[in-house]
Structure 1
């Protein structure tokens, strides 16, 4: 079964309180999403392979280590875009793909409308991002799209996860680890939103609420 990592870092706890607050405005909400994404990526990259390199310092030659794998960020549109800048702050050389999904308001199931990925995506470790893991439908579908294109190493990053979504991913994709800034173990409401949650992340990021 895939690993579920939920952060207990004081910085993330503090920033999550701000994200949950309904009084937090669009600009601040967007900035905090990026900050939390950066902190989460720090944890998610902990086990990436390394290689030794020789670096000439002003004094002598040093033996150093660098990440030894190609990387890609793939946000699930549109809300996943809110995490991208925060990730690129740490890994600016990573390539970017996009998967566009919307949720059918009747069935709550995802519908694909766009998918554009780097040509060598199958050679890369992919960080798939979406702020909310609620029913898990969008993440489940997006992981399926990536696997169909030959991707073997996928790590899912979210700001807030719920039990239903976690269980769905662990059942359907036991090879995909999940990194969440916070976890709500309550049920979803009738609209499929996480309770207590933080509302619609996409609306709050882009000011369309």
Structure 2
């Protein structure tokens, strides 16, 4: 279960998540286990966030294998889009998709953090054209997935991009964040954004890395350390 950390910010206190996060922090955790732990943690966070975000609606009737009729249920809102931030956001994608009852659209944002300024630079954006009168491109909720919120620059830039595009509501899912990064992200668009995270560390170091953190999660996932 997640607790409200601040306005629009929810931090999980699920014991299984906390234990898995402790395992993920270890420098001895290999790439395969890193991928598995990120998936597991993302599943728990997504269950908590979607349990709060979605409602159940009746969609009709169907027949069970024994021939009994039953009422079918779906979710509302149904027009959900997942927005993984390249590249490490891809590690959370399967977990969120697996708990949704139907496939949803996926639109990628490519961003990297400039090493000198620590600001986010967007290099790829495949959001659909703006919503039209016939409903094309409809996105009732945009769910950003990115394992780390450190300084907050990347998630803030993603929120601004989606807000400017016209997303009416944004939910951000992350494995780990800092106090300052969460505060920055929550202040970008308070009435339209919620953040759900697995854990919070106090601060970043002079390189913009979370202390004690998880290291560079993208490098750990894709075995590109030392590039």
Report the TM-score when normalising by structure 1: 0.94
Within 5 Å, give how 1:52-201 maps onto structure 2: 52-56=58-62, 57=64, 58-68=66-76, 69-91=78-100, 93-119=103-129, 120-174=136-190, 175-184=192-201, 186-201=202-217
Unaligned runs of 5+ in 2: 1-5, 130-135
Question: What are the Cα deviations for residues 77-121 of structure 1, in whole angstroms up to 9, with x where unaligned?
Answer: 111111111112112501111000111100000011000124544
How many residues are paired up? 208
Check the 8 A contact 1:2/1:176 in 2, yes or no: no
- Shift in Å, 1:183: 1.0
Check the 8 A contact 2:160/2:188 in 1, yes or no: no
Q: Find the residue that maps to 1:147 and give its secondary structure.
A: helix
Cα RMSD after superposing both structures:
1.5
Paired position in structure 2 for 1:27: 32
Report the TM-score when normalising by structure 2: 0.86
- Structure 1: distance between partners of 2:137 and 2:43: 22
Q: Find the residue that maps to 1:73 and give its secondary structure.
A: strand
Query: Are the structure 2 counterparts of residues 122 and 164 from structure 1 closer, same or farther at C-alpha, using a change threshold of 3 Å?
Result: farther
- Structure 2: distance between partners of 1:7 and 1:121: 32
Paired position in structure 2 for 1:48: 54
Check the 8 A contact 1:127/1:157 in 2, yes or no: yes
Check the 8 A contact 2:79/2:138 in 1, yes or no: no
- Structure 2: distance between partners of 1:121 and 1:181: 30
Check the 8 A contact 2:159/2:188 in 1, yes or no: no
Q: Find the residue that maps to 1:52 and give its secondary structure.
A: strand
- Shift in Å, 1:55: 3.1
Query: Are the structure 2 counterparts of residues 86 and 177 from structure 1 closer, same or farther at C-alpha, using a change threshold of 3 Å?
Result: same
Which structure has more RCO (C-alpha within 8 Å, separation ≥ 6)?
1
